[in-house]
Each structure stands twice: as structure tokens, then as C-alpha cells.
Amino acid sequence: MTEYLLDVQGIETHFRTPEGVVHAVNDVSFNLKEGETLGVVGESGCGKSVTMLSILRLIPSPPGQIVRGKALFMGQDLLQMSDTEIRHVRGAMISMIFQDPMTSLNPVMSIGKQMCEPLMLHLGMSKKDAEARAVQLLGMVGIPNPKERLKDYPHQYSGGMRQRVMIAMALSCNPKILIADEPTTALDVTIQAQIVELVKRLRDELGMAIIWITHDLGVVAGLAQRVMVMYGGYVIEEAPVKDLYAHPSHPYTVGLLGSLPRVDDLQHRRLFSIEGQPPVLYQTPQACPFAPRCKWAIERCWKENPTLESISDGHRVACWVNIHDKGARS
């Protein structure tokens, strides 16, 4: 039980909307070992962010509600903790960084003040110690002249710099887990490369576990050890990174990989496109949520929603069809 740093079991999150109850996260289970990097891939609305927010109990309620499930962090269920306990976990054990650093930073507070606050609050540091630590953290994430820049406000930093500040703040209390929710989506490729390299270096230095949420299968390939693909609130495939890219086994994963042009492609080929759009689920589906867009769908797919089954060591897939037998790309 305690071999996992984080062990999530059957999380289900619903949102009440005027159109009905949206089943945003459905029976999601996964785990994370110490120091491991897990990539979570999926399109917008697939439930990847809501899953992580649910674990940290950051879902606004109402309209959101975590209906069932467990999230064991070092053996303790995050979903059963008192508000004080979960606040301590969020501040000092599991940190999260978001896509848009500008909306995560307070525009009328200097960077230094924003960085010192959690240090004084969670670690009980004095103002002087906190400032020294803030300077050290900014230096660690590669911000030049950290001492002078503490006095600056968020608008005086560029997008890439702001994301570095966010990372520095997330790391300030030495978290066990860093959850990164599309941290590079708003950035240019050159800046994205800077941030990814930075996170890799910090991971190796500090030994923390990372959950990297993204829609970009490219970034995950170079960063994660394990990848989990989500669709319609379900985990539909999970595998070690090399295995997933070499033998994608869910039609959706195969489609996603086929729809990406590659910068190292020599020949012009027509992109594989998945027709239709991702679903919004208003009830527990009786069919596979991907069936309407799937070209391999068989009768069973319309009657029963497949569950995640293991097909090889560490590789789990939720699909009734063995698409490799049907001539999918190997």
C-alpha cells in the first residue's frame, strides 16, 4: 500500500450544469512512485485537469462534486482530510503550476512578497530568511540578478520568466510531487524548451515526482517515464513512454499520434484525422465513449464500455478490439 507515493483509486467527479450533470472524471485510477514522472495526455475537456484538481480538492463546490474515490498520499486519503490538513499538503507536499502564469500571480504584489508569503506561512521562516531563500530559488530557476528582481512586479517579467517564478514558488517548500498543468502551452517553442530542460534538471536534483498534464504528445515523449491518455473523463490507455509510442493500442491514441505532423517527416503524407468531436458525458455511458469516432468499432463497443485491461507489463488499454490484429500501424 505504501509503496506508492500517490495512489488514486476510482475517482469520480461530477459538475452540475443547467444542461444536466456532467460526468467529468469517471473511475480514474493511477499511481505515482517517488521520483517518477507521469504524463497525462488528452484534449480539452477530457478531464485531465479536473482529475488533478479533484485530488487536491480544488474543485469549486458547487457546482463540482467528488462523488467517490480515494486519493492516498503516503497512505493518507486526501479526500478525507480536514481543511487544515489538506492546506498543509497543498502548500508543502504537493505543488501545482498552471498554464497561464499571469493569472496565477497577483499583479499588485511584488514577486518577492508573493514568494516569501508561503515560506513564512508554511515553513515558519522569518522575513529575512524567507527573502534569502527566495533569492536562492529564483537563481535556481535561472533568473538573472535575482536579488534586484525580487522588487519587480509580475508585468515586468516576460511570459517565460513568469513561468520560472511559478516553478520557483511551487518548489519553495520542497514538495514531494509537482503537478504541472499545461505549463508550456502559452509559451513559444524556444521558451518551452528552456522550461522543460529546467524542470528535468530540477527533478534530477531534487528527486521530486512530477505529473505533467498536456495535450502535446511531443513534450511528454522527452520528459515522462509513463504516460496516461484520457478521453471523455476515462483513462483509456496507460503505458511506459516507449511502449506507448511504439505500440499505441487504443484507437484514439493511434489516431492522435497519426494526426501529428512531425518536424522530422521527409515525405508529405496526408494527416490521419479523427472525424467528429470529443464527447461531453451527461450520464454513465453504456457504450465506449470513443465508439462514435472509432473506425474499428464493433457491435460490443456500442453495448458495453470497456474497462482498462492489462495487455503487457505496465500497459493497460480500455478497448474491446485488438487493433493490432486489424492492421493498425505497428
Partner 1 sequence: MTTNQQEVLLKVENLKMHFPIYRGVFQRQVGSVRAVDGISFEVYRGETLGLVGESGCGKSTTGRTILQLYKPTSGSVYFEGVDLAKLRREPLRRMRRKMQMIFQDPYASLNPRMTVEEIIGEPLQVHEVASPKEIKERVKELLSLVGLNPAFATRYPHEFSGGQRQRIGVARALALQPSFIVCDEPISALDVSIQAQVVNLLEDLQEKLNLTYLFIAHDLSMVRHISRRVAVMYLGIFVELADRNSLYQEPLHPYTQALLSAVPVPDPVIAAQRKRIILEGDVPSPVNPPSGCRFRTRCRLADKICAEAVPEFREVKPGHFVACHMVK
Q: Which three cell numbers stand for residue 221?
A: 515523449
Q: Is 280 in the site for partner 1 (CB under 8 A)?
A: no
**Which of 97, 111, 213, 256 touches partner 1 by CB under 8 A?**
256
Please name the residue ranges forming H helices in the chain.
48-55, 83-88, 101-104, 111-122, 127-140, 146-149, 159-171, 189-206, 217-221, 241-246, 251-258
- Binders of partner 1 among residues 191 to 210 (CB under 8 A) are 191-194, 196-197
**Which of 25, 119, 161, 235 touches partner 1 by CB under 8 A?**
161
Is 72 within 8 Å of 66 (Cβ atoms)?
no
Q: Is 314 in the site for partner 1 (CB under 8 A)?
A: no
Minimum CB–partner distance for residue 277 and partner 1 (Å):
5
* Listed residue (54, 44, 39, 43) closest to 9, CA to CA: 54
Stretch that binds partner 1, among 16-24, 25-33, 148-156, 262-270 (CB under 8 A): 262-270
Stretch that binds partner 1, among 65-73, 95-103, 255-263, 314-322 (CB under 8 A): 255-263
At residue 19, φ and ψ (nearest 5 deg) are -85, -10
Distance CA 71, CA 10 (A): 9
Stretch that binds partner 1, among 17-25, 53-61, 273-281, 321-329 (CB under 8 A): 273-281
Complex with partner 1: residue 128 or 268, whichever CB lies closer: 268
Q: How far is the first Cα of the chain from the last one, in angstroms, to the nearest whole number? A: 36
Stretch that binds partner 1, among 63-71, 99-107, 167-175, 242-250 (CB under 8 A): 242-250
Distance CA 168, CA 101 (A): 12
Q: 112-122: b or e for each residue (b if 16 or more CB lie within 10 Å)?
A: bbbbbbbbeeb
Please state, as a whole number, how many other Cβ atoms lie within 10 Å of the Cβ of residue 131: 19
Minimum CB–partner distance for residue 317 and partner 1 (Å):
18
**Which of 91, 215, 287, 292 touches partner 1 by CB under 8 A?**
215
Residues 6+ apart with CB under 8 A from 42: 48, 215, 229, 230, 231
Minimum CB–partner distance for residue 92 and partner 1 (Å):
31
Judged by the rule CB under 8 A, the positions of this chain that interact with partner 1 are: 43-44, 158, 160-161, 188-194, 196-197, 215-219, 221-222, 241-242, 245-246, 255-257, 259-266, 268, 270-275, 277-278
